[in-house]
A = this chain, B = another copy of it.
Amino acid sequence: MNIGFIGLGIMGAPMALRLAQAGHQLYVSNLGPVAAELLNLGAKVCPTPRLVTENADIIIIMVPDTPQVEDVLFGMEGCAETSLNGKTIVDMSSISPVETKRFALKVIELGGEYLDAPVSGGEIGAREGTLSIMVGGNPDVFDKVKPFFELMGKNITLIGGNGDGQTCKVANQIIVALNIEAVSEALLFASKAGADPGRVRKALMGGFASSRILEVHGERMIKRTFAPGFKIALHQKDLNLALQSAKALAVNLPNTATCQELFNTCAANGGSQLDHSALVQALELMANHKIA
A residues within 8 Å of B by Cβ? 97-98, 120-121, 132, 134, 136, 155, 157, 159-161, 163-164, 167-168, 170-172, 174-176, 178-179, 181-183, 185-190, 192-196, 199-200, 202-204, 206-214, 216, 242, 245-246, 249-256, 258-259, 262, 283, 286-287
Complexed CA–CA distance, A199 and B171 (Å): 12
Q: Which of B120, B164, B209 contacts A207 (CB 8 A)?
A: B120
Complex interface: chain B residues within 8 A of A176 (CB): 208-209
Complexed CA–CA distance, A209 and B259 (Å): 15
Complexed CA–CA distance, A170 and B186 (Å): 8
Q: 19 additional contacts, CB 8 Å, given A97-B195, A174-B189? A: A120-B208, A159-B199, A160-B194, A163-B194, A167-B195, A168-B199, A170-B193, A172-B207, A172-B208, A172-B209, A174-B182, A174-B185, A175-B204, A175-B209, A179-B182, A182-B182, A211-B214, A250-B287, A252-B283
- From A246, which residue of chain B is reached at the shortest CB distance? B189
Complex interface: chain B residues within 8 A of A194 (CB): 160-161, 163-164, 167
* 28 pairs, A vs B, C-beta closer than 8 Å: A97-B193, A132-B203, A132-B206, A155-B207, A157-B202, A161-B194, A167-B200, A168-B195, A168-B203, A171-B195, A171-B209, A172-B186, A174-B182, A174-B185, A174-B186, A175-B211, A176-B208, A178-B181, A178-B182, A178-B255, A181-B255, A185-B254, A189-B242, A189-B246, A211-B214, A250-B287, A252-B283, A254-B258
How many whole Å from A142's CB to the nearest CB in chain B?
13
- From A213, which residue of chain B is reached at the shortest CB distance? B208
Please determine whether A185 and B256 come into contact, CB atoms closer than 8 angstroms: yes
Please determine whether B245 and A185 come into contact, CB atoms closer than 8 angstroms: no
Complex interface: chain B residues within 8 A of A204 (CB): 168, 171-172, 175
Please determine whether A216 and B212 come into contact, CB atoms closer than 8 angstroms: no
Please determine whether A163 and B249 come into contact, CB atoms closer than 8 angstroms: no
Please determine whether A185 and B132 come into contact, CB atoms closer than 8 angstroms: no
Complexed CA–CA distance, A214 and B214 (Å): 14
Q: A207-B132, A212-B209 are in contact. Are A178 and B178 (CB under 8 A)?
A: yes
Chain A binding surface SS class: helix
Complex interface: chain B residues within 8 A of A134 (CB): 203
- From A183, which residue of chain B is reached at the shortest CB distance? B175
- From A170, which residue of chain B is reached at the shortest CB distance? B189
Complex interface: chain B residues within 8 A of A193 (CB): 97-98, 163-164, 167, 170, 245, 249
Please determine whether B211 and A213 come into contact, CB atoms closer than 8 angstroms: yes
Please determine whether B190 and A252 come into contact, CB atoms closer than 8 angstroms: no
Complex interface: chain B residues within 8 A of A199 (CB): 157, 159-160, 164, 168
